[in-house]
A and B are shown apart, each in its own frame.
Chain A
Amino acid sequence: MWKRAMTGAIVLFLVGAAAYASFFIAPEEKTMHVLQRIFYFHAAAAWAGMTAFSVCFVANLLYVWRRSEKWDSLGVSSAEVGLAFITVVLITGPIWAKPAWGIYWTWDARLTSTFVLWLLYISYLLLRTLIEEPDRRALLSALFGIFSFIDVPIVFGAIRWWRTQHPAPVIMGGPGSGLEPTMRKVFFFSVLALHALMVFLIAERYRLEKLRTDVEVLRREAEAI
């Protein structure tokens, strides 16, 4: 109990520090001024969300291979947490876009594919609610999760294949791109903080899922008596 509370406190501190750094330490951007500071959370949440979906993908593969319940629990936990982070991306995006581009939403490839990715994982969670039998639910949703994740490279590809209003990748985007050194440090600190938050949330959700399965097993045993 204490260990969990302590971990939670550390994660909270990291996220708070990242917020402080993005407001007070990172230098002001030339054209967008204070507005640009949302970037540290917008982009970092996107990275954390993508990592969570990658964890989900690995868990799905391991479930198909090993058929152990724990991989199914990890799969659903990371999908839910990843979905939460991508939701943050989809909310902070329009908040930033309205003053920067003059519109909340534009149907360019990057935004659209992020939205599609979000829908795919909604479908993944929906599919899980529609299959009763636990083993079948685990296997079929794992397979759908694998197919969905194959969509992820297409998300990243889309920004380069079709012309887009979304800024070209700033990090690892090739020549001419890049962040000012302090901005870079703050950004990577934000990425670290949000990843810590993501791991913490997945661990907590995983615990909950395990409790649920235990309750389910106990209930079935009680019914059998």
Chain B
Amino acid sequence: MSLLSNTGALLGKELRTEFRSRELLTTTIVFILIVIVLFSFTFDPTSDESRRFAPGLLWLAFLFASSLMLQPCFLREQHNDTLSALRLSVSDPFAIFLAKLAANTLFLLLTELLLLPLFAVMYNVPVVPVLHWLVLVFFLASFGISIAGTSLSAISAQARMRELLLPLLMLPLLTPILVASTEVTKSLFDRAPFVQWKGIGFLAVFDVVFLTALWLFGEYLLEE
């Protein structure tokens, strides 16, 4: 029970910090917008072409954005010297990770859902009929990105060149997420949309595997 209440309290702290300034959300949204516009120059965004390329584009944009968004996750604690206090305040360090990754999932999901309508309009892809499936994919993928990204940002925060290091550690590890979510999204954007359960299952397995790994090894990541 204490794990849940600790996580809840820490999640409240993460959300309060972010929603006071909304720095993370604003910068990420602007970043994705820039990427979406820049991508439109790399191919002819007609309806047919978009169906083929848009899902990959969308997920690449989200993945790159998340490697920026997850950066301050532990760095902020380190700059403010609050990591030790944080560790002392909870009985199980897993609560710190759980709170941070829940917050990150929420931020990512929010960004994705805010940008989806714009993306749909600009790239001519119909999203309304498959919206509930898209939300499921967005959730599973964002959760996976946050699990791996939060753990890795705890590692990169303790190294030199940390801003450059996080994407280098994170992006190769998240390739399975990119592949699976792109495949599922592609089948949802199809002329005759269908749900690719294989990909959804794959995302769920990734999430469970990495969450278990984090649960097992998380405490060592925060060792002094």
Stretch of A22-30, A48-56, A147-155 with 4 or more beta carbons under 8 angstroms from chain B = A147-155
Q: How far is the CA of A147 from the CA of B148 in the complex (A)?
A: 9
Q: Are A123's CB and B172's CB within 8 A? A: yes
Q: Are B169's CB and A143's CB within 8 A? A: no
Range of interface residues on A (Cβ < 8 Å): 20 to 34
Q: Are B220's CB and A143's CB within 8 A? A: yes
Q: Are A130's CB and B223's CB within 8 A? A: no
Note all chain A residues with C-beta closer than 8 A to B160: 130-132
Note all chain A residues with C-beta closer than 8 A to B175: 112-113, 116
Q: Cβ of B82 < 8 Å from any Cβ of A? A: no
Note all chain A residues with C-beta closer than 8 A to B223: 139
Q: Cβ of A100 < 8 Å from any Cβ of B? A: no
Give chain A nearest CB distance to B175 CB in angstroms: 5
Partner of B179, one of A126, A147, A148, A162: A162
Q: Are A143's CB and B183's CB within 8 A? A: no
Give chain B nearest CB distance to A197 CB in angstroms: 27
Note all chain B residues with C-beta closer than 8 A to A127: 155, 159, 165, 169
Q: Cβ of B120 < 8 Å from any Cβ of A? A: no
Q: Cβ of A192 < 8 Å from any Cβ of B? A: no
Chain A's closest residue to B159 (CB) is A130
Q: How far is the CA of A130 from the CA of B168 in the complex (A)?
A: 12
Which chain B residues (145-196) contact chain A, with CB distance < 8 Å?
148, 151-152, 155, 158-161, 165, 168-169, 172-173, 175-176, 179, 183
Q: Cβ of B215 < 8 Å from any Cβ of A? A: no
Note all chain A residues with C-beta closer than 8 A to B213: 146-147, 150
Chain A's closest residue to B169 (CB) is A123
Note all chain B residues with C-beta closer than 8 A to A132: 160
Q: Cβ of B22 < 8 Å from any Cβ of A? A: no
Q: A116-B175, A139-B220, A161-B198 are in contact. Are A130 and B155 (CB under 8 A)?
A: no
Q: A119-B172, A162-B183 are in contact. Are A144 and B152 (CB under 8 A)?
A: yes
Q: What 0/1 readout, one digit per residue, does chain B (79-117) give for beta carbons within 8 Å of chain A?
A: 000000000000000000000000000000000000000
Chain B's closest residue to A112 (CB) is B175
Q: Cβ of B217 < 8 Å from any Cβ of A? A: yes
Q: How far is the CA of A119 from the CA of B172 in the complex (A)?
A: 7
Q: How far is the CA of A129 from the CA of B155 in the complex (A)?
A: 13
Chain B's closest residue to A146 (CB) is B217
Q: Cβ of B210 < 8 Å from any Cβ of A? A: yes
Q: What 0/1 readout, one digit per residue, does chain A (106-128) give for beta carbons within 8 Å of chain B?
A: 00010011001001100100110
Chain A's closest residue to B148 (CB) is A147
Q: A127-B165, A127-B169 are in contact. Are A136 and B158 (CB under 8 A)?
A: yes
Note all chain B residues with C-beta closer than 8 A to A116: 172, 175
Chain B's closest residue to A64 (CB) is B220
Q: Cβ of B202 < 8 Å from any Cβ of A? A: yes
Q: How far is the CA of A140 from the CA of B213 in the complex (A)?
A: 14
Q: Are B151's CB and A147's CB within 8 A? A: yes
Give chain A nearest CB distance to B77 CB in angstroms: 16
Note all chain A residues with C-beta closer than 8 A to B152: 144, 147
Q: Cβ of B118 < 8 Å from any Cβ of A? A: no
Note all chain B residues with C-beta closer than 8 A to A158: 176, 179
Q: How far is the CA of A131 from the CA of B160 in the complex (A)?
A: 6
Q: Are A140's CB and B159's CB within 8 A? A: yes
Q: What 0/1 readout, one digit per residue, does chain B (190-224) give for beta carbons within 8 Å of chain A?
A: 00000000100010001001100100010011010
5 A-B pairs besides A144-B152, A148-B173 with CB distance below 8 A are A64-B220, A112-B175, A127-B165, A130-B160, A147-B213
Query: Can you list 14 pairs linking A and B with CB atoms under 8 Å apart?
Result: A126-B168, A127-B159, A130-B161, A139-B220, A140-B155, A140-B158, A140-B159, A143-B151, A147-B151, A147-B210, A150-B209, A150-B210, A158-B176, A162-B183
Residues of A within 8 A of B (CB): 64, 109, 112-113, 116, 119-120, 123, 126-127, 130-132, 136, 139-140, 143-144, 146-148, 150-151, 154, 158, 161-162
